Amino acid sequence: MGDPLAAVSRSLYGDGIGAATDWLETSRQIVLQSDWSGIERHLTATRESFSGAPAKQESLDELLNYLLPHTHHMNYAQRLSSGRSIGSGLIEGVCKNLIGQLLKQTGARWKVPRVNRMAGLCSVMYSNTWNHLATCPPPRNP
């Protein structure tokens, strides 16, 4: 989807600088410094300020609907204050390179299910969740 905040900023204020840039930067700061309730308040207040513009309100509604299923992931301030990453790009890059090297070794033959398992292990290992996973009870077979 790209940057949904930037897309909404353009739909509200058009391209360029000024109000669009100010709204976008304010929105990004709220996302980084608040939890879901702060983001929701900001978007709702913005929506109310465009009461005579249904297309702009619809753009904000779409953003709220896009973010709503992800509210439990949006604790960026808490993650940053504890020194944890808020993006997945670093982990994805490491896994892509590591798995790519394994798959491309001379004579290597991999089956898709085994590659998927390797990718899962790589993600766990590089995302600092390995120790947490090691303390979890094993899954029960139904």
- Whose CA is closest to 127, among 94, 95, 100, 91? 91
Q: For the chain, what's the residue count?
A: 142
Position 117 scores a pLDDT of 82
Q: Is the pLDDT of residue 142 over 60?
A: no
Q: Mind giving me the DSSP string for 51-74? A: TT-HHHHHHHHHHHHHHGGGGGG-
The residue-averaged pLDDT of 73-83 equals 82
% of the chain exceeding 90 in pLDDT:
27
- Whose CA is closest to 42, among 64, 62, 59? 64
Sequence-distant (6+) residues with CB within 8 A of 95 are 119, 122, 123, 126
Position 140 scores a pLDDT of 66
Through-space distance between the first and last CA atoms of the chain, rounded to whole angstroms? 38
pLDDT tens per residue across span 6-27:
999 999 998 777 888 999 999 9
Q: Is the pLDDT of residue 97 over 70?
A: yes
The residue-averaged pLDDT of 118-126 equals 75
Can you tell me the distance from the alpha carbon of 126 to that of 58, in angstroms, rounded to the nearest whole number?
A: 39
pTM over 0.85: no
